[in-house]
Amino acid sequence: MLFIILLITTVLCIAVFYFKKTNRNYWKKQNVVQVGDLMIKFMFSKESIPIMVKKIYNDYDEPYIGMTQGTIPTLVLKQPEDIKAVLAGDFQSFHSRGIIANPNDLLADNLLFMNDFQRWKIIRQKLSPVFTSAKLKSMFYILEQCSRDFVVYLEDNLHKQEKPFNALYTYTTSSIGAAVFGIDTQTKNTMESPFLEMAWKTLEPSIKQNIIITVSNVFPSLYKMLQLKVFGEYEDFFVGAVKKVLAERRQETTKRHDFIDICLELQKQGMMQDSTTGYELEPTDEVLAAQAFFFFIAGADTSASTMHYTLLELSNNPKILKKLHEEIDSVVESGAKEITYSDIEKMQYLDKVLNEAMRKYPPIGVIQRLCSKDTYLPSGVKIEKDNIVMVPVFALHRDEKYFSSPDVFDPERFSSENISNINNYVYLPFGEGNRICIGNRFARLQVKVGLASLLRRFTLVEQYNVTPTFEPSPFGLRSPDVRYEWKLRDI
């Protein structure tokens, strides 16, 4: 395997160099400003791609900027009208995220961000009911139990504040695990999740995984020929876990209102069918295991980061923190053991704080789409088949044209009086359009109940304008080492 990776790396570097030379004037020929190759810059940089793209966004007063990503011409969009066309209006041309998967990769090839439009559509249709208000309300007891266990976990392990992101990651991973598989009655604390180590390994930066993902996109034939797998090392563990739980739960009659319940319902209904096209897909254990796996890789890290940056900004802004404490204390009855679903719905200021945290630090810093057929954007630029367009979410969220004093943390941007002033398609914490994050409502609920429970018992030590340094990442804004301290409240 090491020899294969070294060989692939060598071939990749040669190919990237060749195509960089070949395509270096691709956009210039269309009278579009073109900068250097993003992939090469990222490979030899310590910056994340969202940061790189933000700098390009700020340096050019143009409606779009051209570049290459290895072999693929890529266009960074700046106009809300173009962004709307890509994410919603011309969805048929931009339905693909451009992430290639090998058919023998059970987890990657069946994930919800798959390229196959028909397969994606039917899975999306069947899984969307998981996230209705009624389903989330039924599932709330799981998240609430996890949030209480999280507080106990912190009380018993105050040293965890030395690495606060790791503690938050424990909560998000464990609560997703409980929402997928139910609460294990044999476990004293839900923070003791068997999936925590797997989630860490899946999301930690890895040279091997980055090379495999790059090959899958740049050399899909070679990727398939070598039968490489993005998540191959987790396949046996995770698919096996889902199969085991499904088998056990088929013997139960009690509803738990978790994801496994949904899986069992889908399997009882038989073949999944798209009524408009007739396309059919069998809800096998493997297909459903991949969707469960998707919740971990899509939600654990992004939700932990959102909580992380929210707490960082609250430590930097004591007046905002005080106001949030007052809201939580006024909504949750004194002495109440549990926070209710109704309590969370009443916490409007917490909602504003969360919205502003996701503006300043969006969970995903760039969104990309692969063009599936030649088309034109509203601004007039032509996008050819197999080219990529990139939505610079982080850059948009920090653009003073859309958000005054963008580096200032101000939850009042999202007050009822001000929110209507935010342009459409410039605030995109969960994306937008047909492929908006399917779990965004779950993620918000998970984060809000976690923060409310934490801040009900703890407060934050004030610090002055501590800013995060983001580690290299293709899409995210990760800063796991940034610090703040919490301490028990005197209540």
- The encoded tokens of residue 287 equal 């297909």
- Residue 240: count other Cβ atoms within 10 Å of its Cβ: 12
d(CA 315, CA 321): 7
- β pairing state of 64-69 and 72-77: antiparallel
3-state secondary structure of 36: strand
d(CA 294, CA 286): 12
- β pairing state of 280-281 and 367-370: unpaired
Q: Which residues are paired to 431 by β-bridges?
A: 429
3-state secondary structure of 406: coil
Query: Is the CB of residue 182 less than 8 Å from the CB of residue 142?
Result: yes
Cα angle, residue 228 at apex, residues 222 and 230 outer, rounded to 5° = 125
d(CA 134, CA 10): 53
3-state secondary structure of 69: strand
Q: Which residues are paired to 458 by β-bridges?
A: 488
3-state secondary structure of 308: helix
In this structure, which amino acid lies at residue 148? Answer: R
Q: Is 146 annotated to bind ligand?
A: no
d(CA 61, CA 65): 9
Exposure string for 405-417, b = 16+ CB within 10 A, e = fewer:
ebeebbbebbeee
d(CA 148, CA 454): 8
d(CA 287, CA 254): 24
d(CA 208, CA 223): 13
3-state secondary structure of 41: helix
Binding-site annotation, residues for heme = 437
